[in-house]
Amino acid sequence: MSTVGPEPRQPSLSQLRAFAAVAEHLHFRDAAAAIGMSQPALSGAVSALEESLGVTLVERTTRRVLLTPEGERLLVRAKAVLAEVGALTEEAAALRAPFTGALRLGVIPTVAPYVLPTVLRLVHDRHPDLDLQVHEEQTASLLDGLTAGRLDLLLLAVPLAMPGVAELPLFDEDFVLVTPVGHWLGGRAGVPRTALRSLNLLLLDEGHCLRDQALDICREAGRAEVPATTTAAGLSTLVQLVAGGLGVTLLPRTAVRVETARSAGLRTAWFADPAPTRRIALVMRTGAARGAEYQELAASLREAVRALPVRVVDPGPRPTRYAARPAGPASAAAAG
């Protein structure tokens, strides 16, 4: 008859913290001071961890402390466990006290300079305990960061047609045609979309969702393609190219005042109704623990952006969610 020995003891969090501190400082006294333990207690915690794992983690000499090869490998696991426990406690704290702690907000470049001031004022006035951390990146990078947990909330153009995310729509804004001084469309209202068929349209670089939106608008107007002979990395450069007479471009209306003020060599033209538009939304992971908090923030933002040249969207009773499906022409506007 076989006998089963006692189950191995599980490492405690205090033991893992002690080991991680020793690995960082390579000195027992400094490590103990860093985590608020006495040196004997820290040494005992590391010894107990080694005993429970059956592996020597550190080499102790009279002059220095070194990690063993086994210690180097297991340190990666120990840090991962401590990081997950930290994330757990942070999320629990957020649930207990909404609008506190860190909120990592990702924003696309064609929204950030024009809408962020409104967002920052709102957070400063209503949620002073919220640590808002802003990351400006292109759409694909932001979505990767959201799904990987690097970011908590996004502010970008939709629809995304992406599973696993929920959209909290904020507002719609028209596109405006920006031309150089002396252009035959400069200053005109009621411009038909078909005018885009023959214009030398300047675009942002590949990867910007605004480029894809502009191309979609051209296709809807009956233009097969737009030769990308000249492109720009940002809207500021794009409007300077227009001012220099190289062509025309499309700007979202929230960007018009800021960008056209940079040069006296620009004019705007307004499309006939219905003008081409884009929708801006907050985007979160479906089922996010702080989902109710994000929906409340979205409701506050809808009120705050009424001062901008936009049309606030009625969100309905629930955020928009999408099941998995292949991206088609309707979703191309937010693919960048």
Give pLDDT tens digits along the chain (336 positions): 445 555 667 899 999 999 999 998 888 888 899 889 999 999 999 999 999 999 999 998 777 889 999 999 999 999 999 889 888 887 777 667 788 888 999 999 999 999 999 999 999 999 998 999 999 999 989 999 999 889 999 999 998 888 899 999 999 999 999 999 989 998 899 999 888 888 888 887 877 777 878 878 878 877 877 766 777 888 888 889 888 888 888 899 999 999 888 888 899 999 999 999 999 999 999 988 889 999 999 999 999 999 999 999 987 755 544 433 333 333 333 333
Cα atoms found within 13 Å of the Cα of residue 76, Cβ hemisphere only? 4
Is 22 in contact with 28 (CB distance < 8 Å)? yes
SS3 240: helix
Domain boundary among 95, 118, 139: 95
CA 303 to chain centre: 22
Same domain, 18 and 33: yes
The answer to whether position 314 is within a domain reads yes
Same domain, 243 and 308: no
Instruction: Give the structural domain span for 154.
Output: 99-171+278-334
Q: Which pair of structure tokens corresponds to residue 33?
A: 């001071």
Q: What is the DSSP letter of 174?
A: E
pTM: 0.66
Domain boundary among 95, 120, 152: 95
Same domain, 203 and 261: yes
The answer to whether position 46 is within a domain reads yes
Cα atoms found within 13 Å of the Cα of residue 330, Cβ hemisphere only? 5
Instruction: Give the β-pairing of 231-232 and 203-204.
Output: parallel
